[in-house]
Structure 1
Amino acid sequence: MIDIGLTHIALPVSDIEQSIKFYATYAQMQVIHRRIDAGRGVAVAWLSDRTRPFAIVLIQTDSVDPILSPFAHLGVGCHNRESMDALCKKARQEGVLIEEPKDSGPPVGYWAFLRDPDGHTLELSYGQEIGLTVDRTENV
C-alpha cells in the first residue's frame, strides 16, 4: 500500500521530548517512528493517534520560526465534552490554555486553543462536523 492524499504535517520544535510529551497528553498521540536524520543530524519523531494514516512529524531545530499559531492550528477532536473539559483544566493549570472553551454551535462545535512548547497552536474540539461534511460531499 502506498500513501496518497494528506499524510502529515512537519513542525520544527526546540525540544523534541517536551513536544512528544505535550502531544501525547493533549492529542493522545504516540511515537510511531524515531530517527536521527542522516543528512542534517537532527532528531525526528513521527506521532500518530492511530485513528487514520496521518502523522505529525517533529523535527528538532535550534530555533523555531515561524510558528503555527492562531488562526493557523492543528485540530484534534475529543471523545466527549467532559474529556475535553478535563484536558482544558489541565492546560489551564499548566499555563498552556490560550483560548477558553466556547461553544460555537454546528458545524464548529465546542472548541479551545492550547499552546505547545514552541508556541504552535493546538485546537481541541468536540462536536465539529468535519467527518460528517466529508461524508455528505460528493466527489467533484
Structure 2
Amino acid sequence: MVDVGFTHIALPVADVEQSIRFYCKYAGMQVIHQRVDAKTGASVVWLCDRTRPFAIVLIQTSSVSPVLSPFAHLGVGCKSREDMDSLCKQARQENVLIEGPNDFGYPVGYWAFLRDPDGHTLELSYGQEIGLTVANAT
C-alpha cells in the first residue's frame, strides 16, 4: 500500500517526552514509531489516534519557535461535550488552556484552544462535523 493524501504534520519540540504526554492526554494519541535520526541525532516520534491514517511527527530540536499558534492550530474532535469539559478543566489546572470552551453553534461547534509544551496550539472541539462534511461532499 502506498500513502496518498494528507498523512502527517511535523512539529519541532524541545522535549519529546513532555510533548508525548501532552498529545496522549489531550488528543488521545499514542506512539506508533520512535527513533533517533542517524544523521542528526534528533529524537523523532510519530503519534496517531488510530482513527485515520494521520500522524503528528515530533522532532526534538534545540530551539523551537511555535508555528501553530492561534489561529493556526491542530484540531481534535472529542466524543462529547462532557469529555471536552473534563479535558478543559484539566488544561485549566495545568495552565495550558488558552481560550474556551466556547459554543459558536453550527458549523464551528463547541471548542477550546490549548497550548502544547512548545507553544503550538491544539483545538479541542465537539460538533464541528468535519468527518460528516467530508463524507457528504460531492
TM-score interval (norm. to shorter):
over 0.9
Structure 1 residue 114: deviation in Å? Answer: 0.1
Looking at structure 2, the residues matched to 93 and 69 of structure 1 have their Cα atoms a distance apart, in angstroms, of: 20
Secondary structure at 1:23's aligned position in 2? helix
Q: Residue 24 of structure 1 corresponds to which residue in structure 2?
A: 24
Indicate whether 1:91 and 2:91 are aligned. yes
- Tell me, yes or no, if the aligned pair for 1:13 and 1:58 is still in contact at 8 Å: yes
Secondary structure at 2:26's aligned position in 1? helix
> Scaled by the length of structure 2, what TM-score is found?
0.98
Superposed CA deviations along residues 53-90 of structure 1, whole A, max 9, x for unmatched, are 00000000000124210000000000000000000000
Number of residues of Structure 1 aligned to a counterpart in Structure 2: 138
Runs of 4+ in structure 1 deviating by more than 4 angstroms, as ranges, are none
Superposed CA deviations along residues 67-123 of structure 1, whole A, max 9, x for unmatched, are 210000000000000000000000000000000201111111000000000000000
Indicate whether 1:74 and 2:69 are aligned. no
> Scaled by the length of structure 1, what TM-score is found?
0.97
- Tell me, yes or no, if the aligned pair for 1:67 and 1:118 is still in contact at 8 Å: no
Q: Residue 103 of structure 1 corresponds to which residue in structure 2?
A: 103
The residue type paired with residue 97 of structure 1 is L
The residue type paired with residue 60 of structure 2 is Q
Looking at structure 1, the residues matched to 132 and 29 of structure 2 have their Cα atoms a distance apart, in angstroms, of: 23
- Tell me, yes or no, if the aligned pair for 1:107 and 1:129 is still in contact at 8 Å: yes
Superposed CA deviations along residues 7-55 of structure 1, whole A, max 9, x for unmatched, are 0000000000000000000001000000001111100000000000000
Q: Residue 126 of structure 2 corresponds to which residue in structure 1?
A: 126
- In structure 1, runs of 5+ residues without a counterpart are none
- Tell me, yes or no, if the aligned pair for 2:66 and 2:118 is still in contact at 8 Å: no
- Range with greater deviation from structure 2 (97-106 or 61-70): 61-70
Looking at structure 1, the residues matched to 136 and 105 of structure 2 have their Cα atoms a distance apart, in angstroms, of: 19
